């Protein structure tokens, strides 16, 4: 599969996404060119996307004309800040320091309503084709790859990041073919417990 082809990971989660969104918009962090936004929209879901790239957002708006897209850094906050049933964060939470990443995870928890779910994918420590080794270290499993910081996760790091405040619905290490070379990732579905913080 080349980088231009779709990455069909989201399709298996659509029944859960439709159920938990309960007719409200899905928030997508790091929506990029709207690849996943278009899958959500095709399933009849409203989409609110945020990304830091104006060029990517232009493509997302063309792909999903009925979507609502914002330009911004996800570390600075999210639009429509609470009450989401579903938040999507695919291949976007692994660019930051550990403190920034844990702050994001906490903010995501608070943006979900009780029983809401977060679908997340992050780089695996086994993702050697895309920077998990051979680059200047910025910290533990955190490297400067082609001039950009990239974090790589193992199971323990994910368990620490999404601590006891979350319920793990699904956690799996996978190899995907989204790019020219295979990419190792972690895919997780997390639920904000019906009672809790």
Residue 56's nearest CA partner among 8, 92, 97 is 92
State if pTM tops 0.85.
yes
- The answer to whether residues 190 and 117 touch, using CB atoms and an 8 Å cutoff, is yes
CA distance 95 to 123: 10
* Sheet with 167-176, edge to edge strand ranges: 68-71, 47-51, 26-29, 84-90, 112-123, 183-191, 167-176
What is the tens place of the pLDDT at every residue in 156-190?
A: 999 999 988 899 999 999 998 877 788 999 999 99
Confidence of residue 6 (pLDDT cuts 50, 70, 90): low
Flag whether pLDDT at 105 surpasses 90. Answer: yes
* pLDDT attached to residue 192: 95
Give domain limits for the chain: 8-191
Any idea which fold 8-191 has? Rossmann fold (3.40.50)
pLDDT, mean of residues 3-15: 77
In the numeric block, which tokens belong to residue 170? 């699904």
Question: How long a stretch of residues is the chain?
Answer: 197
Flag whether pLDDT at 79 surpasses 80. Answer: no
Dihedral sign, Cα of residue 1, residue 18, residue 71, residue 91: negative
């Amino acid at each position: 599969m080349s980088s231009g082809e779709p990455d069909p990971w989201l399709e298996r989660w659509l029944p859960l996404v439709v159920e938990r969104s309960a007719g409200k918009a899905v928030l997508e962090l790091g929506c990029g060119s709207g690849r996943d936004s278009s899958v959500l929209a095709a399933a009849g879901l409203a989409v609110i996307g945020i990304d830091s790239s104006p060029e990517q957002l232009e493509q997302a708006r063309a792909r999903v004309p009925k979507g609502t897209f914002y330009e911004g850094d996800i570390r600075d906050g999210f639009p429509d800040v609470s009450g989401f049933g579903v938040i999507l964060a695919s291949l976007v939470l692994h660019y930051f320091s550990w403190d920034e990443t844990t702050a994001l995870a906490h903010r995501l928890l608070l943006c979900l309503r009780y029983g809401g779910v977060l679908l997340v994918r992050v780089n695996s420590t086994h993702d050697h084709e895309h920077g998990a080794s051979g680059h200047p270290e910025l910290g533990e499993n955190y490297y400067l790859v082609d001039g950009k910081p990239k974090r790589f996760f193992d199971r323990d790091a994910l368990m620490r990041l999404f601590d006891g405040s979350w319920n793990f619905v699904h956690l799996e290490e996978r190899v995907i073919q989204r790019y020219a070379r295979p990419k190792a990732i972690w895919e997780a579905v997390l639920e904000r417990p019906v009672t809790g913080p």
